Structure 1
Amino acid sequence: MPASPSTDTAILWFRQDLRLTDNPALQAACRDAGKLLPVYILETDPDPWTPGAASRWWLHHSLAALDAALRERGSRLHLLQGRADECLETLAATSGATAVYWNRRFEPAALTRDRDIEAGLKQRGITCHSSNAALLVEPWDHFNQQGKPYRVFTPFWRSLQPRLEAIVPQRRPSALPGVPRGNGHGLSLEELGLLPEYDWDAGLRNEWQPGEAGAGKRLRSLLETRLIQYPEARDRPDDEGTSRLSPHLHFGELGPRQVLAQLMQHRAGHRSAGLVRAGEQFLRQLAWREFAHHLLYHFPETTDKPLDRRFEHFPWSNAPETLRAWQRGRTGIPLVDAGMRELWHTGWMHNRVRMVAASYLSKNLGIHWREGARWFWDTLVDADLANNTLGWQWTAGCGADAAPFFRIFNPVTQAQKFDPHGRYLRRWLPELARLPDKWLARPWEAPTEVLAEADIRLGDNYPAPVVDLKASRARALGGWDEIKGISR
């Protein structure tokens, strides 16, 4: 005879897994529980990396989408705010829940907190079930031949590839257990206070559709219309060449197993050499995300300290006004300024431009990479601690598999190569729109009569460069000379 359905009540704790498809914690809870109480807790636990304003905006809309999806299936999302351990213990007591299900996070503070929460719940007789929804392979299950964490991407990627065929996403549950009675609705979404107090988010609203449905649309758009151009177009900020899946992956509206499975299915149905190559290029980028999370797990101190300890002695500059000019897109270097304005307006920046802007801050301006990481953390909708840490340390030359320090991106040649017709620069820097292409990436070198004809007054309606690119590059290399002989 089939087993009788359980009458136990369980709590499903949503975190960075705001989806119903390929959600192993949800699947396990549906299998085991007779009643299910889905909950999201806006945590007030001490954490040096609390979500920034752009991430909070995204979270508000993603939670609204998740609640709507749950309500379509006869359930709803219970919203709380406070310390996660206290909220879960209180909720278990009031609901009679005997188990809590969640998907693991891998940030240093979250790992510590989860261990403490699990220990506290078990002391109260509540069973805990955690699963992996965020990564293809968990960090404690993937080492090099010496049994140590990978610190270079290429061998990490080579060792990961044979494991991909066995990775399969889980289906969305066909039905959800009912919600236990007598628990109210918790807080309203508005009471969480995630939206900005004043209206600066119009650009975000126009650009993004947070939630599982929006994530699915982005992925379909990539596979059906843009994948074939991906290898070349992904470096072009003037084109829709990237997937823009990063915020959806960060909030777990889409899981990497889903992306992998749909990409492989698409490639199987379209076996052209171009699509195979494009698919491999995109999979490689998904693996970089994986690599970032593995690094952060094994080297948790790298959110604030360089993996290459020589850089603890680097002569960084303390220049608050120059930092503010970079943040506001007022450096006088068009590609950097365009990227910083795109970031402020849309909560996102093209990856090629991120590298240029990061190189300019840490090398030409000589400002500590941590300042840039903090600004990106507050302004990016895809602010992900692992990716942000890897990206900044890679560009600054002090992380795992880092670009050599002497690789200093030239923002003029980068703009000329990857925005050859100036569409990206003109979109975000309309004050330069009348400049000919020849001078658009370097207006300070344009003849006086060309600037006058374009109605550009450097230092007035567009800033003069805050540093000379050639001289600042030489200073950066001088700083490298000071530390490169220090023992790592």
Structure 2
Amino acid sequence: MPASPSTDTAILWFRQDLRLADNPALRAACRDADRLIPVYILETDTDPWAPGAASRWWLHHSLSALDAALRERGSRLHLLQGEAGACLQQLVAASGTTAVYWNRRLEPAAIARDRDIKAELKQRGIACHSFNAALLVEPWDHLNQQGRPYRVFTPFWRSLQPRLDSLAPQRTPSQLPGLPRRRGHSLQLDALGLLPEHDWDAGLHDEWQPGETGAHNRLRTLLERRLQRYPEARDRPDADGTSRLSPHLHFGELGPRQVLARIQQHAGARRSPGLVGAGEQYLRQLAWREFAHHLLYHFPETAERPLDSRFKAFPWRNDPDSLRAWQRGSTGIPLVDAGMRELWHTGWMHNRVRMVVASFLTKNLGIHWLEGARWFWDTLVDADLANNTLGWQWTAGCGADAAPFFRIFNPVTQAQKFDPDGSYLRRWLPELAALPDKWLARPWEAPAAVLAEAGVEPGATYPRPLVDLKASRERALAGWDAIRTHNRLTM
């Protein structure tokens, strides 16, 4: 028989909010319930953007860290796998729960799923309480003067700035409610099958510390070592000048309001104009993340289709061989290959290099941006649907804030400007390490004697370029002209 209803037991449904601090759903549940079941459900639905391999690796370790934090406070994480609504119904029946608390997710599939789950639970008399833990402000609370969503970042950021001082994070509850005696069966973490069957994750272990503690360690490093030089260093893949907070923010091990508060406190305490300016530069990047989530909420079709409808007619090329070479870091273009190898080894890529490799795929190779978005989705530890969508559409030229011209990044000049001594290229392309700086970013132009002396054999030790950069640029521009002409003729 199912347990009789009880008014003192609640479920806290963790999703992308794997932290105890600044967790509104947790605080509300702790306030209202005498007994609490923290649960994570690995969903087995048909969402086309289910977590990729790198994200699953991160999730395993983040769940382990969250469970350890809960156990320190006399609780533990309940693990389930299956369709989320059915799992919650089973847990409600087993425990006699009368309320479920969660923090909102705003991806299109999650919105639809949450709406159905809330309706089903309410039909059974179960109270549902949802909160904002992922964003500074939610999309329906931040519109332009016409009551419409922003499509350009600068006015979005300008209107957000006056609101920042009022966005304070919530404290960690001093005490967690205990667990009820009856709560049904919980899976072991390993039973979720999140870790890879083959050992390809050594680089991820070396690079990352998933979990709330790892997130705060990263934030501390940003404040103490990187923030002052962030405006100059953030574009340099050869310098460790970025925050690398993106996976922690995606999994909710750290909330944006926490980052905002710490940066404001740090800059204010030091009273350094340079530090204040650097802090604003970083907060601008945090707002870009916010902008991405607002766009996906208001334009959910953009996860699969271009925001700029003209690009439905763009002449994309179907070239599986070139796509595989790009994925493997074997294009013959050093900055592109270095970035793709960094991605495979660490689950992350510097943002400047992300733009370059995306531009090369979409502009020089002419391959659809969705092919790149799907590869990033599977290989990035910070794979986030909103950020991934905005980034790829921005670089392809079909999204929000795209340039009025057809932007094409030159991987040679980008390497020379942002990796001037070649340390980034040499780290990820050791087969080119002996080349002089002059030829490192463009080995196909190096004299044969220079290549021989450096031990570089084109086509053998390092690939020849897949395409000619100038000719492929001209082809991309011709494609852009074609869709503009098509649009004028069909108006």
**Normalising by the residue count of structure 2, what TM-score does the alignment of the two structures yield?**
0.97
In the alignment, which residue of structure 2 is the partner of 1:346?
346
In the alignment, which residue of structure 1 is the partner of 2:284?
284
Q: Offset of 1:274 from its aligned partner? A: 0.9
Residue 396 of structure 1 contacts residue 405 of structure 1 at CA under 8 Å; is this kept in 2?
A: no
In the alignment, which residue of structure 1 is the partner of 2:81?
81
SS at 2:130 equivalent? strand
Matched, 1:215 2:211: no
Cα deviation 1:328-383 (Å, max 9, x = unaligned): 00000000000000000000000000000000000000000000000000000000
Q: Offset of 1:11 from its aligned partner? A: 0.2
Distance in structure 2 (CA, Å) of the matches to 1:278 and 1:166: 20
In the alignment, which residue of structure 2 is the partner of 1:459?
459
In the alignment, which residue of structure 1 is the partner of 2:100?
100
**Unaligned ranges ≥5, structure 2:** 1-5
Cα deviation 1:21-43 (Å, max 9, x = unaligned): 00000000000000000000000
Residue 332 of structure 2 contacts residue 466 of structure 2 at CA under 8 Å; is this kept in 1?
A: yes
Displacement over 6 Å in runs of 4+? none
SS at 1:40 equivalent? strand
Question: 2:390 is matched by which residue type in structure 1?
Answer: L
Question: 2:370 is matched by which residue type in structure 1?
Answer: R
Residue 108 of structure 2 contacts residue 297 of structure 2 at CA under 8 Å; is this kept in 1?
A: yes
Q: How does 1:48-87 map to 2 (within 5 A)?
A: 48-87=48-87
Question: 1:312 is matched by which residue type in structure 2?
Answer: K
In the alignment, which residue of structure 1 is the partner of 2:309?
309
Question: 2:383 is matched by which residue type in structure 1?
Answer: A
Q: How does 1:261-272 map to 2 (within 5 A)?
A: 261-272=261-272
Cα deviation 1:14-66 (Å, max 9, x = unaligned): 00000000000000000000000000000012201000000000000000000
In the alignment, which residue of structure 1 is the partner of 2:479?
479
Cα deviation 1:291-346 (Å, max 9, x = unaligned): 00000000000011000000000000000000000000000000000000000000
Distance in structure 2 (CA, Å) of the matches to 1:315 and 1:45: 33
Residue 219 of structure 2 contacts residue 259 of structure 2 at CA under 8 Å; is this kept in 1?
A: yes
Question: 1:157 is matched by which residue type in structure 2?
Answer: W
Q: Offset of 1:407 from its aligned partner? A: 1.4
Distance in structure 1 (CA, Å) of the matches to 2:40 and 2:218: 25
Residue 40 of structure 1 contacts residue 77 of structure 1 at CA under 8 Å; is this kept in 2?
A: yes
In the alignment, which residue of structure 2 is the partner of 1:147?
147
| Number of matched pairs | 483
Q: Offset of 1:405 from its aligned partner? A: 4.9
Question: 2:287 is matched by which residue type in structure 1?
Answer: A
Distance in structure 1 (CA, Å) of the matches to 2:403 and 2:189: 43
Distance in structure 2 (CA, Å) of the matches to 1:481 and 1:185: 60
In the alignment, which residue of structure 2 is the partner of 1:121?
121
Distance in structure 1 (CA, Å) of the matches to 2:324 and 2:44: 29
Give RMSD over aligned pairs: 0.9
Distance in structure 1 (CA, Å) of the matches to 2:402 and 2:16: 28
SS at 2:36 equivalent? strand
Distance in structure 2 (CA, Å) of the matches to 1:484 and 1:229: 41
In the alignment, which residue of structure 2 is the partner of 1:407?
407
Q: Offset of 1:155 from its aligned partner? A: 0.1
Cα deviation 1:224-271 (Å, max 9, x = unaligned): 111000001000001110000000000000000000000000111012
Distance in structure 1 (CA, Å) of the matches to 2:433 and 2:389: 34
Distance in structure 2 (CA, Å) of the matches to 1:390 and 1:85: 30
**Normalising by the residue count of structure 1, what TM-score does the alignment of the two structures yield?**
0.98
Distance in structure 2 (CA, Å) of the matches to 1:88 and 1:404: 48
Q: Offset of 1:189 from its aligned partner? A: 0.3
Matched, 1:176 2:180: no
Q: Offset of 1:404 from its aligned partner? A: 4.1
In the alignment, which residue of structure 2 is the partner of 1:32?
32
**Unaligned ranges ≥5, structure 1:** 1-5
In the alignment, which residue of structure 2 is the partner of 1:334?
334
Question: Kindly, what percent of the aligned residue pairs are identical?
Answer: 80
Residue 95 of structure 2 contacts residue 184 of structure 2 at CA under 8 Å; is this kept in 1?
A: no
Distance in structure 2 (CA, Å) of the matches to 1:430 and 1:185: 51
In the alignment, which residue of structure 2 is the partner of 1:134?
134
Pick closer, same or farther for the CA change 1:249–1:288 going to 2, 3 Å. same
SS at 2:228 equivalent? helix
Residue 395 of structure 1 contacts residue 403 of structure 1 at CA under 8 Å; is this kept in 2?
A: no
Residue 306 of structure 1 contacts residue 393 of structure 1 at CA under 8 Å; is this kept in 2?
A: yes
SS at 2:229 equivalent? helix
Question: 2:278 is matched by which residue type in structure 1?
Answer: A
Matched, 1:470 2:441: no
Q: Offset of 1:117 from its aligned partner? A: 0.2
Residue 144 of structure 2 contacts residue 150 of structure 2 at CA under 8 Å; is this kept in 1?
A: yes
Residue 17 of structure 2 contacts residue 134 of structure 2 at CA under 8 Å; is this kept in 1?
A: yes
In the alignment, which residue of structure 1 is the partner of 2:355?
355
Distance in structure 1 (CA, Å) of the matches to 2:127 and 2:45: 22
Residue 11 of structure 1 contacts residue 37 of structure 1 at CA under 8 Å; is this kept in 2?
A: yes
More displaced stretch, 70-79 vs 139-148:
139-148
In the alignment, which residue of structure 1 is the partner of 2:3?
none
In the alignment, which residue of structure 1 is the partner of 2:430?
430
Distance in structure 1 (CA, Å) of the matches to 2:258 and 2:423: 34
Matched, 1:199 2:161: no
In the alignment, which residue of structure 2 is the partner of 1:444?
444
In the alignment, which residue of structure 2 is the partner of 1:164?
164
Q: Offset of 1:403 from its aligned partner? A: 2.9
Q: Offset of 1:90 from its aligned partner? A: 0.5
In the alignment, which residue of structure 2 is the partner of 1:3?
none
Question: 2:189 is matched by which residue type in structure 1?
Answer: L
Distance in structure 2 (CA, Å) of the matches to 1:404 and 1:222: 34
In the alignment, which residue of structure 1 is the partner of 2:243?
243
Residue 7 of structure 1 contacts residue 35 of structure 1 at CA under 8 Å; is this kept in 2?
A: no
Question: 1:398 is matched by which residue type in structure 2?
Answer: C
